[in-house]
Amino acid sequence: MFDIHSHILPGIDDGSPDIAVSLEMARMAVANGVTVQACTPHILPGVYNNSGPQIRKAIAALQQILDQEGISLRLVTGADVHLVPDLVGGLRSGHLLTLADTRYVLVEPPHHLPPQRLVEQFFNIMVAGYHPVLTHPERLRWIETHYPLMEQLAHGGVWMQITASSLTGSFGRNPQKWAHRMLDEGLVHVIASDSHDARRRPPNLLEGFEFAARRVGEAEATHMVLTRPACILENNAPSTVPPPLAQAGHSEDSHEKHASRATGPSKPYRDDNGRPVAQAGAGGGLRGLLGGLRRYVSGKR
């Protein structure tokens, strides 16, 4: 598996405090079946004043130690890039980093309030030739009131990365609820560990994969930890890999199965009889949308 999000670099943000923890995290990642680990420390002006050149140096230093210790984990560059004005300028100057110097960039929106002009900001990133991967949407407080915005972004091409620990419930009930719903509705492109240490927020991608495999099937779960992360690391176009399950126009039967498993507030997604409606259009393509409309109409008779 390839893990595109971690805070394994020592002493650079709120992740690993020292080299001993970084080594423990690296060993745990390998035990999880991870062979490539993106090092993605926070870059948030005034809080985490990291920069591209500094992160590159820290990665080279850690890779050298991993090699000396015989830990077979390949580190690649990256950053947990907080959404700031002129993000594109920062990427172009090298102050901010994409994942493994590809077109793909991890973008973390603010946690507590939805930013102004969010869609426009993501649009600007894409117009500049980068491909944003929005980090842990399920953990953002404002998803409670702005879920359709996440759908809009995902349908507009923004890739969604959820965190393994959200699926398993380690972040509590709300992130788990939203992670499950996004998974069920085909809005999840990638699962990552977003590991910060070896205990509280450990490298646990395998657990995330196994959970997803039980929920959406092994093939789709594999796309989330292998196929799409590989696409990122090889800088291939997003169109070269399968879209998330519900966007692939799967059968009505499996669509019904997903609808029945969907959790979270049901109001915008169910008709008066509790049948799924807009949920079909949330990712099922034209076929799914038509199926949802058919169910809606028959429910009205």
- Residues near Fe ion (CB under 5 A) are 80, 194
Judge residue 118's burial from the number of C-beta atoms within 10 Å of its C-beta, 0-12 exposed, 13-18 middle, 19 or more buried: buried
Judge residue 20's burial from the number of C-beta atoms within 10 Å of its C-beta, 0-12 exposed, 13-18 middle, 19 or more buried: exposed
* Least spacing, CB of residue 202 vs Fe ion, in Å: 14
- Residue placing its CB nearer to Fe ion in the complex, 96 or 280: 96
- Residue placing its CB nearer to Fe ion in the complex, 41 or 276: 41
Residues 6+ apart with CB under 8 A from 235: 100, 102, 103, 104
* Least spacing, CB of residue 8 vs Fe ion, in Å: 11
* Rounded-to-integer distance, Cα 186 and Cα 125, Å: 23
- Residue placing its CB nearer to Fe ion in the complex, 80 or 220: 80
* Least spacing, CB of residue 14 vs Fe ion, in Å: 9
* Least spacing, CB of residue 145 vs Fe ion, in Å: 23
- Residue placing its CB nearer to Fe ion in the complex, 185 or 194: 194
Q: Whose CA is closest to 200, among 41, 50, 65, 17? A: 17
- Residue placing its CB nearer to Fe ion in the complex, 42 or 255: 42
* Least spacing, CB of residue 23 vs Fe ion, in Å: 20
- What are the residues facing 34 on neighbouring strands? none
* Least spacing, CB of residue 281 vs Fe ion, in Å: 31
Q: Which residue is nearest to Fe ion (CB)?
A: 80
Gyration radius of the chain over CA positions: 19
* Rounded-to-integer distance, Cα 66 and Cα 16, Å: 15
- Residue placing its CB nearer to Fe ion in the complex, 175 or 292: 175
- What are the residues facing 80 on neighbouring strands? 42
